[in-house]
Structure 1
Amino acid sequence: MATVKRIHRLLLGAAACSMLAACGGGDSGGGVVVVPPTPTPTPTPTPTPTPTPTPTPVVAPPSCPFVSGAAAFTLENAGTVTGPEGTWRMCRLPSDLGLRRVGLVYAPGVVYTIKGRVEINGADPELEDSVESSINFAPGTILMAEDADSYLVVGRGAWLIAEGTPTRPIIFTSRANVEGTATDVSSKQWGGILTANWAPISDCDAPAAVPGSRNCKRELLPSFPYGSNIVNYRESLLRYVQIRYAGAPIPGSDLSGLVMAGSQPVRTQHHIQVHNSGQGMSLLGGRGNFQHLLLTGNDRLYADVGYQGNLQYVVAAQRAGGPAGPILKIDSDGNEDVTLRSQLRMSNFTLLQRNGVPAGEAAISIRGGADPALVNGLLVSPGAPCLGIGGAATIQAANPAIGELGPPRIFSVSMQCGSPRFAGSNGVSDADVQAIFNMGTNNSASYTPGLIGGFVNGVTETALTAYDAKTVDAFFDTTPYVGAVRDANDDWYKGWTCSSSTLPFDGAASDCTRIPVFPADP
């Protein structure tokens, strides 16, 4: 019996060992190991995008700022105006600033306004040493014209000082722009800015007056003469400035956004944008010098009445669908042999002619015996002739006795043209114009543009040979390139400008149809 029980226990033990072996228990080397499946990882949650902060709306202060300076005064509180940026306090300037030296500070939520003709003049515009007046705009300030009849005129003996900065331009614009109703095709919503000074001119109101003499003057507007024989006198100052939607006709004048008459060379005007403003910019006599000009959406740049000054780094682009006419027009006195003739000198320019021209004219139109010099330029005019010259006096040989410099001087200018490429009129043939163009060095009338963004030099433009503009006038910088903007690293047009469908300088962030909002002064 004991033997049977022992055998029974052995059988049970063997069975147990068999079951353990089948499960791999007690054997870590040769059995089957069952590994549990790897768990599915928890997906990384998609981060919620940070919302674009909503700009804080502009809030109009309850009153207008005090105006600093001699004979200071309080501005008229003209109510508020509301637009996409918020609500602004309208602080209206008087129609006549009188004999004051006025400083307009930057104040958040404030737009300074003009209604009708607003003038600033010296005590006696006939005497250069009379009591003077001035108005000074701080960086970031906005001047709004309340209606189409509004404009600002600065007479002899008075000065407009508008000196913005690369990050805080000064803006002169229309009410529609502030209200947010101006568009990329809006124009002529107010008059503009006119300045008069003492530098010589060619067209005298008095028939017996000698051009360029003390008594040779013209009226820019009634009681606002310009011209004389005084050079290197004080001058208004425009730097880092935008003039928008101007050019509305005023009595006696089809106005440009900016008119400078009898301008002086003592201060270089620079970093100025004139946008969608009728005729754009007019230089009437004088000796004023300019650098870094942007003329966008306007009809033209115009020089007349014996203007003899310099312009460098100029971009001008017409708004497509605008009126027909040259993008650059250079004229002189009706008496084409007058001793004082227009001598515009321009280097490093890029001109975009996007509309047609009247018969006999061209994208660049020169007449009236004018003696311009065009250097290091690009002209894109696929739908119109490029170069037009009118009048035998405009192409006559040099004659120092009458101040004649000879035919227009053109060096290192490349043009894309419509047909015909050249247009002569009033005794000048198309072939005459072509011959004058071909006289210059490194000129081409078969240029195919490679411009980036419509105005920045690309590979094609970089390969063109430049001319030393300093040999034309000591004012100019010597540059190793043609055109206004050397390449993508040349960003002089950024930060202080506004963009439109005409040219995208700084993108949507600087749309010309919007008003920039700057923080309070530190």
Structure 2
Amino acid sequence: MTIRFRKSLLATALLAAAGGASAAITLNDGLDGTWANAAESGRGVALDVIPGADGSAIVSGGIFSYDADGNPVWMTFAGSIGAGESAVDGVALNLFEGGSFGAPFTAPGAPVQAGTAAIVFDSCTAMTVDLDMTEASGLDDVTLELEPTQTLIGGSANPLCSSVAELAQCPDGTTADGDACALPNSITGALHLPAGKVYTLQGEVAVEDGATLTIDPGVTVRGSDDTSALNYLAVKRGGRLYAEGTATQPIVFTGPDDVIGSWGGLVIAGNSTCNDGTDTDACEFEANPAITYGGTDLNDSSGALRYVRVQYAGIAISEDSEFNSITLLGVGAGTVLDHVQVDSGKDDGFEMFGGSVNGRYLVCSNMGDDCFDFDQGYTGKIQFALGLQGENTDLGDDSNGIESDNDGDNNDKLPRTQPQISNLTLVGKPELTRHAMRLRRGTGGNYTSVVMTSYTEECLELGDTGTFAQGTASEQGETLSMTHTFIGTCTGGEFKDDASDAYLVSDWFAAGEGNESGGDPMLDGFLPMPGSPVLEGGAANADAFFRPTSYRGAFAEGENWTAGWTVNLGN
């Protein structure tokens, strides 16, 4: 066996990255397929990449080649590549011998480890596989320089694959934190985070009034391993965050570990309305009163989130005082929320304390508490949203798809919580999640084309005098309505009907145009199957923000707008 310095390939890759010659690869299905070398026809690698929720991936596959006597050999491998990395070393190679082709088939013998491999993704069209073989294998060491088969025959790389040049050093305004770059605790002026590095935050990292934080596609921002202080990102009133990823290069905010509540999450404060403040006193964030919010500017902008994932966030400070995955405090309609996922959080997914921010293509998955929580006079508009309550160790008896409140002490406090929502799908976990929708404490809301099913208790609950006062048993009100909606089956029934209430929830629902209840929505996970009743009978809210639709729920037939940029949805 030829003895070589095994770290040389990875060292070379890292040095190349420092000089900008290498690239950081987005680890996803865009790397799948066969890889070969046109000058070495007859051998290559069949590759499968299984991305993880945090940007890491399992890379597995098979190497097909020949031994010294010209006999074909087949080896398999599997290794893990960390988030933001493009290489893995020391991957065991399993060599198979024996077996026969044809019928009857004879299986090969048990595999033996024949060596190790170092794998480096140089770009979407270049992979280096360095094979270090054992003497017992009888195979020589070799380095394979490969490219995707489709590019060898004149095609282009898989469009899901994307890469960015790695950075030689941390950008101005950040400091080195091992291989990552640490953000300052107070961001003033303008700070730009280019791709090619992982960025860490320790303690509160605040985008101050008048400051701007801009994050490039493909960047991962991670809570620190040091949890002596609560790690979270706060955009204060007057500050702006522009995190605008792409479908192939989403921006990921995550914790140091793939564990719910491993960091605090994302907090954004704005100058739109909140009904807990006064003309002289701003509203205060329950988990940190030093963060204030609210005002009169309905169109205030706090920046933009596009193709963003927030994972493993949310921490309870005390009872009824929590950091959520994304906490929006009086955020205005000038802010963009477009293709945003919250996943595996400890408390709520999206919580709106007042504000008028709008959103499209929002995903909440595997959340510990409510997926969408509206409060303090939130009046924004949302179209195309998914709440999928799956696995989470924090799930309890008060985890709902939507929980919407106005005020418990004053049900009619103004401005009243009254979101406008169209094309929403809510799928619960029958043994753990409570209600699909819990509307109480005087909340309003105009809901159109909703699909809800599979919750533990009743699908739909109305609560408190101020909520019921907005309608009657035979007529829905202007401030609280639900139309063109399909309620499937929940363990506790479709409606929480209580004879002590002003009227039955089921009667109020039946008064809404185009509503149906009690049938099977025919969902494959969260997507409607062919022939599903939710593929028709829909409409959109009568407002210029909403795009016309004829289906109920978040998805048209054959459509899955979550594909490629989300994680942990199971479809």
TM-score (norm 1): 0.72
- Quick one: which of 410, 414, 419 aligns to 1:344? 419
Query: What does residue 384 of structure 1 align with?
Result: 457
Judged with a 3 Å threshold, the aligned counterparts in structure 2 of structure 1 residues 253 and 234 are, in CA distance, closer, same or farther, namely same
Match status 1:156 vs 2:237: yes
- Quick one: which of 195, 215, 224 aligns to 1:137? 215
Give deviations 1:179-207, integer Å, cap 9, x for gaps. Answer: xxx2xxx3111110000000011112xxx
| Alignment-mate amino acid for residue 285 of structure 1 | G
**Secondary structure at 1:152's aligned position in 2?**
strand
1:219 CA displacement: 1.2
**Secondary structure at 1:246's aligned position in 2?**
coil
Judged with a 3 Å threshold, the aligned counterparts in structure 2 of structure 1 residues 49 and 480 are, in CA distance, closer, same or farther, namely farther
After TM superposition, the structure 1 = structure 2 runs for residues 292-441 of structure 1, keeping only pairs within 5 Å, are 292-298=361-367, 299-300=369-370, 301-320=372-391, 322-324=395-397, 325-334=399-408, 335-354=410-429, 362-397=435-470, 405-423=478-496, 428=501, 432-441=504-513
1:64 CA displacement: 3.5
Residues in 1 aligned to 2:195 and 2:515: alpha-carbon distance in whole angstroms: 48
Residues in 2 aligned to 1:120 and 1:268: alpha-carbon distance in whole angstroms: 17
Where does the alignment leave 5 or more consecutive residues of structure 2 unmatched? 1-69, 89-119, 121-164
Match status 1:478 vs 2:548: yes
Residues in 2 aligned to 1:458 and 1:200: alpha-carbon distance in whole angstroms: 41
- Quick one: which of 164, 169, 190 aligns to 1:101? 190
1:234 CA displacement: 2.2
1:307 CA displacement: 0.2
After TM superposition, the structure 1 = structure 2 runs for residues 39-438 of structure 1, keeping only pairs within 5 Å, are 56-57=86-87, 64-67=169-172, 73=173, 75-79=174-178, 89-97=179-187, 99-107=188-196, 110-122=197-209, 132-147=210-225, 148=227, 149-176=230-257, 182=258, 186-204=259-277, 209=278, 214-215=279-280, 217-220=282-285, 221-250=288-317, 253-278=321-346, 279-298=348-367, 299-300=369-370, 301-320=372-391, 322-324=395-397, 325-334=399-408, 335-354=410-429, 362-397=435-470, 405-423=478-496, 428=501, 432-438=504-510
Where does the alignment leave 5 or more consecutive residues of structure 1 unmatched? 1-44, 68-72, 80-88, 123-131, 177-181, 506-522
| Alignment-mate amino acid for residue 238 of structure 2 | G
Give deviations 1:33-54, integer Å, cap 9, x for gaps. Answer: xxxxxxxxxxxx9976696897
1:244 CA displacement: 0.6
1:310 CA displacement: 1.0
Judged with a 3 Å threshold, the aligned counterparts in structure 2 of structure 1 residues 497 and 464 are, in CA distance, closer, same or farther, namely closer
- Which structure carries more strand by proportion? 2
| Alignment-mate amino acid for residue 507 of structure 2 | A
Q: Is the 8 A contact 1:374 1:410 kept in 2?
A: yes
1:376 CA displacement: 0.9
Residues in 1 aligned to 2:492 and 2:355: alpha-carbon distance in whole angstroms: 35
Q: Is the 8 A contact 1:391 1:427 kept in 2?
A: no
1:448 CA displacement: 1.1
Residues in 1 aligned to 2:166 and 2:485: alpha-carbon distance in whole angstroms: 54
1:484 CA displacement: 1.0
Ranked by relative contact order (alpha carbons within 8 Å, sequence separation 6 or more), the top structure is 1
Judged with a 3 Å threshold, the aligned counterparts in structure 2 of structure 1 residues 46 and 393 are, in CA distance, closer, same or farther, namely farther
Q: Is the 8 A contact 1:412 1:465 kept in 2?
A: no
Residues in 1 aligned to 2:389 and 2:255: alpha-carbon distance in whole angstroms: 20
Residues in 2 aligned to 1:355 and 1:414: alpha-carbon distance in whole angstroms: 14
Rg comparison, structure with higher value:
1
Query: What does residue 103 of structure 2 align with?
Result: none
Residues in 2 aligned to 1:331 and 1:357: alpha-carbon distance in whole angstroms: 22
Query: What does residue 17 of structure 1 align with?
Result: none
Judged with a 3 Å threshold, the aligned counterparts in structure 2 of structure 1 residues 376 and 248 are, in CA distance, closer, same or farther, namely same
Q: How many residues align?
A: 405
Match status 1:494 vs 2:560: no
**Secondary structure at 1:394's aligned position in 2?**
helix
| Alignment-mate amino acid for residue 418 of structure 1 | T
Give deviations 1:277-321, integer Å, cap 9, x for gaps. Answer: 121110111111000011110122101010001111111111246
Judged with a 3 Å threshold, the aligned counterparts in structure 2 of structure 1 residues 61 and 288 are, in CA distance, closer, same or farther, namely closer
**Secondary structure at 1:496's aligned position in 2?**
coil
Alpha-carbon RMSD across the aligned residues, in angstroms, is 2.8
Residues in 2 aligned to 1:426 and 1:155: alpha-carbon distance in whole angstroms: 46
Give deviations 1:316-373, integer Å, cap 9, x for gaps. Answer: 1112462222121010123112231111121111111215679xx7321001111112
Q: Is the 8 A contact 1:356 1:384 kept in 2?
A: no
Q: Is the 8 A contact 1:347 1:374 kept in 2?
A: yes
Q: Is the 8 A contact 1:407 1:436 kept in 2?
A: no
TM-score (norm 2): 0.66
Q: Percent identity?
A: 27
Q: Is the 8 A contact 1:192 1:256 kept in 2?
A: yes
Residues in 1 aligned to 2:243 and 2:422: alpha-carbon distance in whole angstroms: 25
Residues in 1 aligned to 2:534 and 2:350: alpha-carbon distance in whole angstroms: 31
